[in-house]
Amino acid sequence: MNERRLFVVLLVVTATIPNAAVGTAPEPPLVDAGLDQTVERGSTVLLDGTGSRDPDGELTSYQWSIRGPDGRTVVPKNASAPHTSFVPDVVGRFEVTLTVTDDEGKTSSDTLYVTVEPGDAPSVRLSGPEDGFVGQERRFRVEITRGAAPLDTAVWRVDGTVVSRQSLSPEAAVAVLEMPFGTAETHDISVTVVDGDNRSDTDSKSVHIAAEASAEPDTGETAPTGPDSDPTVVRGDRVVTGERPLEGPYRVDAPSFANVETVEWYSERGLIGNGERFSHEWDPGTHTLYAVLHYETGSRDVARFEDGERSVVADPRPNASVSELRLERGTVSGTAVGSDAFGNLRAMTVSLDGRQIASWSGSGSGVSRNDLSFEANATPNEDHVLRVTVVDARGQKRVFTRSVTPSGSPEIVSSRFLNTPVDSYHERIDSERYIAYHEMRIDLNGADPEDVSTQSLIPTGHTKIVIEGINREHHDSDDLLIVRRGIHAQTPGSYPIMFKLGYKLGPGDVASDTLAVERSPPELRVNVSYHNEKRAEGDRPVVIDASDSFDPDGTELKYSWRDDMYADDAIYQPVDFTNLASMKIGIIDAYGYTTTDSKGLVGYYTPRVGKIKIVRKQQSYLPNETVRVNIVTQEYAQLGGLAIGLDVQNADNYHIKKWGPDYGGAPDNYKGEIRWNGTIEIPASEFQDVGKDPTIKLYNKENPNITVRSEDVPSVAVYEPTRVRFVGQSINNLKYTVLNTEYNWRQATDYTSLQRYREAGYVVDTTDRKGVEYNIQEYKKTQSAKYNTEQQHFDRYDSRKLLLDTNSDWVAAGSETTTDMWYTTESEWRDNKAGEGSFTGDTRTVRVEPARYRTERQYEYDHRVRKTGTRRVTETRTRTTTEVRERPVTRCTQWGCFESTERYTVTDRETYTVTTTETYSYYTTETESYWSTQPFRSDHYRTGDVRRIQTAPAEYEKQYQYEYRERHEETTTTYIAEKREQVRPAQYGWVHYETTTSGPRADQITRHDGFRVASTSKIRRWSLKKKVSESKETSNTYDDANDVIRTQAEVEGHVEQTLTDPMTGDTVTQTIGNSEQEFIASGLYTRSEILSNSTVSKTTSEACDCGRRR
């Protein structure tokens, strides 16, 4: 590729000014934004810039700009006033800049820093009941007074263990906790409210829970043998992880279910299930779970997990995604989004092709979402692998992978005119003569063609240059955009035009080319016609009119007839018709260009149409019938070589049956005169368009475009189509598109489960009321023995274990956990001034990308170049001179002889030479070279030279040191041992064992001792479903009509047309062809419905156009 160089000449003009006229340069203004400030969050910061001044003038404007610690822009109350204010809504360091402008237009800036510290903490007051009994729900209410920061979370604890975390609205005034208690003792209830600045307040109270007295009398029954001190516990998943739904199975283990009437399951939300076995889908978070056993005696018992705890943790896998992904100019950038519904997001990494380009790590507590910005260089137009990895505090990992292809910047590969020089624009010449076609080839380098624009920049003053149109072609195979445009100019000359490439996402490119418009010879137009209609024996006089001639360059013309001098007269008359073959004409324009026709003017004559007649004309024609037309021209004197063409306009189909000269065909022809006649066959359908009957066109074949004579064909009546029917239909290739939907199914037998499934997104599909349900009971222990309990607390697990190993009366009684929270100040380096924390003022520069290089080879190619030169040419010429001379002569008469003078002419022929300079063209082969990573064409060859050029410099980024507060928690566990002494024996009775709908099953169980059928009831079950996926499938069959979403088929048949005679009203019916139709409709259609909805679409016969031309 040829290198383009741009030379810029800088002209420096120095003016000498007397010393007395030299003044001082204007000074910039002195700006004072004020002193740094430290305030509490939520307070108003007052800004005062009135300390600014201008030493040599006046200040004309003030402009305040504020940047928050998270990088966002904060707008003050009045950004253009000397005094203004703003209210910071986050903790950290705000950067406030004041820019002032003086009356000379000069500006100065000053920056102050506002450090915002946490303001007032929230305050809380806890209220609620003072007592209750085991299993009874108690309601506690906390009243909240917001501090300086928006509220965030309310944390409820019972006996030091977190039982609920509630998200609060920023302005919340109240939070409520409802829960039952499972043990008869005094419990400590506390609530801590935390705001956005981690400021908090705590309030607590005590509630005494008593065991409900048993209403069951002593029956004196003997309990079954075996240990009677087995605890009633809940077993199941304490920590539920993985993918959603977070479902955990649970059951109650008890020594006996005798006299147990119902088992109810409770969480912090209240009642959530029934039965000895229970499965629950948890929302992410920490929950409370316990079971309440209700006995037939009216008493109740509370079951917890084996260690005495009631907490269940539901922690799903974190999620990873990418937003605002940008693939521009060889870079990959965007925002990686990590989210964790449990709020324990710990770390994120972003890598490109295995190379880490961004990372983040946190404490793993209290982080539900993190947005991580990334940007890295990548080779344009190549595939790269972008991977985002997110990990939570439990080590659960989510990896998001995406293939990305960054684009480069488009560039102009070539820009040139394809057909210059061209003629000047004139509306009467062929556009191919005056339109110059310009082509620009653009290498997109992966850019979107919609982001690329081109523009033609015409120099000022060239108003006679016109852009004809623009055509864009995108070639995917080589990522090339070709833009072609037509350009013309109205006068000859050379016009430089600049072509600009624009790119929305980056820099563009520019190329320039020259439009060459050359002078055109004049265009000769001649019309030969009769001088008058009077006939005379022999030739007929005609008029030759050349006034329709023109010069495309717009100059005036002069005319020459025969060998006469050029004159202004464009009409020559009269002329004998037989002299046309020898007639000559020439025209010359103002530039001296000439156009001459010396072969005679026979090629400009076309005889007029004499007569047009329809042969054996019918009253009406069917559209597919033929109309025969006879054409006869006027007579003219016989001329050798005259060829007349015949054509029909406003008709797509016709056939010239006969056409030729007729020598003596007319009875009144004069000797030597001829005429042309012939017959044309035209389909009657060509006469159906109103106002567009066929037209006969005659022309001279030597100049077919400028010698046309036309005449309309007489109209005929044609049958009009009045009805088209589709008959003999058949259906082929019938297919159905079926929507296959996959559901998750659940079954509920009580209203509590029904409501829970509905809240989870399930809908009722069917309700079953058939069958009998058997309620089977078993005689077993209904109440455990009662014990007095003594407890000891240990800081270490080993200490409790030592007690248990040496004293068999003591057993493990769970543990209590307390959490202490404190904050530390940490620091880290960041690549932008954004995120939590405050900027310390320290910066550093680090290299993030090394310099990149590209190896290029030198290629050469040969091409022919046309050049012009001059040379001396010697010609031999002859000139003749004539001279009149006198000489004496003797003349004799009858009277004698005498002397006289005689004049005579002497002709002399002289030969001489003349030397002139002429311009000629020749071709030479030149070798061009260019540097590239690959040849532009296959016939370009390497020179062997190689160079290494830098494609991108090393990249450095400025990093900023930030300080931020890190929250820490320390958990202390106290291990409890207890010793129990029995004060009441265990109680036994009938309790629920199983519910079944099988009579044989119920009979089989009750055959054993200790089992009975307590009751029967009609079954009511709800079947519920929730859609999880759907897919489409096309087949020629279907199972369920409700699943069919589309029907498609091919319908074939015959097309029958009815036509009406416009003159008489008579009708005719014809079969005009076969029709094939593709039927597509939404939903299910039967074969009869498909046929009833089918219409004529297309036919295999032209007659199915219903007789009308398109």
Q: What is the pLDDT of residues 119-172, one digit of tens each?
A: 888 999 998 888 887 777 788 999 999 888 888 889 888 888 888 888 888 888
Across the beta sheet with 411-417, what order do the strands follow?
A: 411-417, 436-443, 480-489, 465-475
DSSP tag of 12:
-
**pLDDT at residue number 226:** 34
- SS3 for 28-79 is CCECCCCCCEEEECCCCEEEECCCCECCCCCEEEEEEEEECCCCCEECCCCC
**pLDDT at residue number 1092:** 79
Mean pLDDT of the chain: 81
CB atoms within 10 A of CB 1082: 10
Distances (CA, A) of 523 to 430, 556, 593, 602, 1031: 11, 12, 10, 18, 70
Judge whether residue 85 has pLDDT over 90: yes
**pLDDT at residue number 463:** 63
- Comparing 602 with 334, the larger pLDDT belongs to 334
Quickly state the pLDDT bin for 218 (edges 50, 70, 90).
very low
- Comparing 69 with 1099, the larger pLDDT belongs to 69
**pLDDT at residue number 562:** 67
**pLDDT at residue number 336:** 94
Q: Across 254-310, where does the E strand assignment appear?
A: 260-267, 270-274, 277-282, 285-288, 290-295, 300-305
**pLDDT at residue number 872:** 84
Distances (CA, A) of 685 to 393, 657, 807, 819: 84, 18, 117, 97
Kindly give, in sequence order, each residue whose CB lies less than 8 Å from that of residue 96, ignoring residues fewer than 6 positions away. Answer: 33, 47, 64, 65, 66, 111, 112, 113, 114
In residues, how long is the chain? 1110
Quickly state the pLDDT bin for 531 (edges 50, 70, 90).
low
Instruction: Out of 303-317, 374-388, 539-553, 584-598, pick the least confident.
Output: 539-553
Quickly state the pLDDT bin for 1104 (edges 50, 70, 90).
very low
Nearest alpha-carbon partner for 189 in 153, 214, 162, 210? 162
Q: Which residues pair with 457 in a beta bridge?
A: 498
**pLDDT at residue number 615:** 92
Nearest alpha-carbon partner for 437 in 453, 452, 422, 459? 422
Residue pair 258/993 in contact by the 8 Å Cβ criterion: no
Q: What is the pLDDT of residues 100-128, one digit of tens each?
A: 999 888 899 999 999 988 888 899 999 88
Residue range 256-267: mean pLDDT, rounded:
85
| Cα distance between residue 117 and residue 94, in whole Å | 11
Structure tokens at 982: 């029995």
pTM over 0.85: no
Quickly state the pLDDT bin for 216 (edges 50, 70, 90).
very low
CB atoms within 10 A of CB 143: 13
Q: Which class for 795: exposed (0-12), middle (13-18), buried (19 or more C-beta within 10 A)? A: exposed
DSSP tag of 212:
P
DSSP tag of 1105:
G
Structure tokens at 158: 């019972």
- Comparing 759 with 552, the larger pLDDT belongs to 552
Across the beta sheet with 319-328, what order do the strands follow?
A: 319-328, 331-339, 369-377
Distance linking the first and last C-alpha atoms of the chain = 51
Judge whether residue 388 has pLDDT over 90: yes
Judge whether residue 575 has pLDDT over 80: no
Q: What angle do CA 309, 313, 318 make, to 5 degrees?
A: 165
- Is residue 923 within a helix (H) or strand (E), and if so which, with residue range? strand 896-932
Kindly give, in sequence order, each residue whose CB lies less than 8 Å from that of residue 981, ignoring residues fewer than 6 positions away. Answer: 787, 788
Judge whether residue 1 has pLDDT over 50: no
Residue pair 481/409 in contact by the 8 Å Cβ criterion: no
Residue type, 1087: R
| Cα distance between residue 854 and residue 860, in whole Å | 19
Instruction: Out of 180-184, 527-531, 681-685, pick the least confident.
Output: 527-531
Q: In the chain, what percentage of residues exceed pLDDT 70? A: 89
- Comparing 666 with 17, the larger pLDDT belongs to 666
Instruction: Out of 470-474, 768-772, 837-841, pick the least confident.
Output: 768-772
Q: Which residues of 531-553 are buried (b: 16+ CB within 10 A; e: fewer)?
A: eeeeeeeebbebebbbeebbbbb
**pLDDT at residue number 1071:** 82
Q: Which residues pair with 1057 in a beta bridge?
A: 724, 1070
- Comparing 980 with 414, the larger pLDDT belongs to 414
Judge whether residue 1109 has pLDDT over 50: no
**pLDDT at residue number 1021:** 75
Judge whether residue 1107 has pLDDT over 80: no
Q: Where are the alpha helices (DSSP H) in 105-188?
A: none
Give me the phi and psi of 723, to 5 degrees please: -160, 140
| Cα distance between residue 637 and residue 633, in whole Å | 13
